[in-house]
Amino acid sequence: MVNTLNQPIAGSSRPLLPWLLILVGLGAVYLPTFYDLFHGAWSTEKNAQGPIVMGVAFYFLFYRVKQLQELGQLERAPSPVIGSLMLVFSLLCYAVGRSQSVLLLEVGSLVGVLSGVVVTFYGVRTWSRMWFAFFFMLFMIPLPVSVVDAVTLPLKIGVSYATEHLLYWAGYPISRSGVILNIGQYQLLVADACAGLNSLFVLEALGLLYMNLVRHSSVVRNVVLATLIVPISFTANTIRIIFLALITYYFGDAAGQGFVHGFSGMVLFLSALLLIIVVDGVISRMVRDKPLREMQLAKSAVSSGTGKLKAWVATASIAGKPALLMMLAMLLSVGAARALTPVMDLAKAIAPLATTVPSQFGEWTEIKSAIVQANLTASEDGKKSIEQPYDDVLTRTYADKAGNRIMLALAYAREQRQDVKIHLPEVCYPAQGYEILVLKQAPLSVLQSGRTLPGKRLLTTGGGRTEAVSYWVRIGDAYPIGGLATRLKIFKDGIAGNVTDGMLVRASSLITDPKDADAEYVVQDRFLSDLLLAMKSDRKVLIAENP
């Protein structure tokens, strides 16, 4: 492949105009996305690393381009076919992701779009020499909540377990229930942001960035270090929780949840970076590096000021027509996203659950109870968000003449999107320190017609109590089981132009012996059947109109 770094290019008298066209297209596509991120996912503690990763990724891309220029490796071997295919595919992903609120596609498409631009004008080989900058951008994408929830719980339990045993061995009065730590008179909940997948994700990014900047030539050394980044990240998370637990123990709850809690994030990254450097130093004593070939290359291609100017003009100059077509394609994707965006049916408004759900029906009567139900959401301010996606919530306790007590929890959301949707009990219960003993799919016998509803049964324990739970989730006119099925249902309705609503119906009971769970599930089915019968026409908010 020929290096055309210093070759003049036709139309280079206005080298910045084509780039300005591309920047206009990128701005039209992604400025609204980044605005939403800064006011949405990136504004939460879970994804606060996004802007930092984005800034580092773009700076590293600039640094790498400059480095390749100096080494004479910024070749000009355009691959317009491959680049155009990458660009078109990425813009399609953007249109679908933007319209259906799939951040993985919407934000991730930026990597493909930028890669397509580079490959179109510079070729695959040049792209391969700056691939890490594009790879690093992936770490700024907010992960799907279902993936985070599935992976975060074991991580939180592991970090909680390690913290408990380390502090116990050090002589501190500490105990653990799930992900809740009790140290002295204080109680700490190990939250997702403290020890979840997001923190592990960004620590992995930190380790990979360190590896790329250091640029060891030894494959063995790189592989070993990359493998050890995961346990290093786990250790750093444990250090953070220990730090917070000790601050709380010695200085009180206010200190542990105030400025120090935010500062502990810095402790997390500093300890992770220190561990990476220490481990890398140990590995260096066992594996020797050879000098990288590109570091030995002469920089004579741009040694003089005139040569640098010519190199910059030659590198910056791109053809105007392809740039114009790229801008038009980007603007078209914005229009496609707008056309595919589903519209909410304002007629879906329902009466408040507190008025439509009767306080007395059949043999059941609402009673006052001191027992606190498991929260339907982790939100503290009650505002609608990823943590609190509901428009109306109702929790009550009912009893019948035989003394059976059922706790009812209803949560309704008019708008179901990929990033804001109903939380499943098997996620909410463990997040609040409960341990799930049994989780199974089960047909719920709650319809007068004799048909069953697809649902689930849970048996949980925590906080000194054992709870049997039955629930179903209605998304539009379907009852999807599990996070993936829910996502697919929302996506299908969204592509059809509809904003799907959703309802969680949960009935639970306290039991003394897990062996009594099956008998309690029968009582719960009877309770839910009586409730649906009593609500008559209003029951369509709980179940599909033609179940």
Catalytic residue list: 194, 240
Euclidean distance between CA atoms 442 and 463, whole angstroms: 26
Answer yes or no: are the C-beta atoms of 501 and 412 closer than 8 Å.
yes
DSSP E strands in 25-109: the ranges are none
Amino acid of residue 339: A
- In contact, 162 and 192? CB cutoff 8 Å: no
Which residues lie closer than 8 Å to 120 by C-beta, 6 or more apart? 78, 79, 80, 82, 83, 84, 87, 322, 326
Q: Looking at residue 14, what DSSP letter applies?
A: S
Are 472 and 451 within 8 A, CB to CB? no
> Residues, the chain, total?
547
Cα of 18 vs its chain's centroid, Å: 36
Judged on CB neighbours under 10 Å (0-12, 13-18, 19+), 373 is middle
Give the separation between CA 25 and CA 37, rounded to whole angstroms.
19
Quick one: 310 exposed, middle or buried, by C-beta within 10 A (0-12, 13-18, 19+)? middle
Residue 138: DSSP 8-state: G
The CA-CA-CA angle for residues 197, 198, 203, to 5°, reads: 95
CB 172 within 8 A of CB 249: yes
CB 198 within 8 A of CB 46: yes
Q: What is the DSSP string of 436-450?
A: EEEEEEEEE---TTS
Rounded-to-integer distance, Cα 366 and Cα 293, Å: 77
Judge contact between 1 and 125, C-beta under 8 A.
yes
β-pair partners for 97: none
CA distance 477 to 544: 5
- What is the DSSP annotation of 455-493? EEEEEEEETTEEEEEEEEEEETTB---SHHHHHHHHHHH
Q: What is the DSSP letter of 384?
A: S
Distance CA 141, CA 49 (A): 10
- For residue 278, CA distances in Å to 219, 221, 228, 234, 438 come to 19, 13, 12, 16, 43
Question: 356: which DSSP letter?
Answer: H
- Residues 331, 28: contact at Cβ < 8 Å? yes
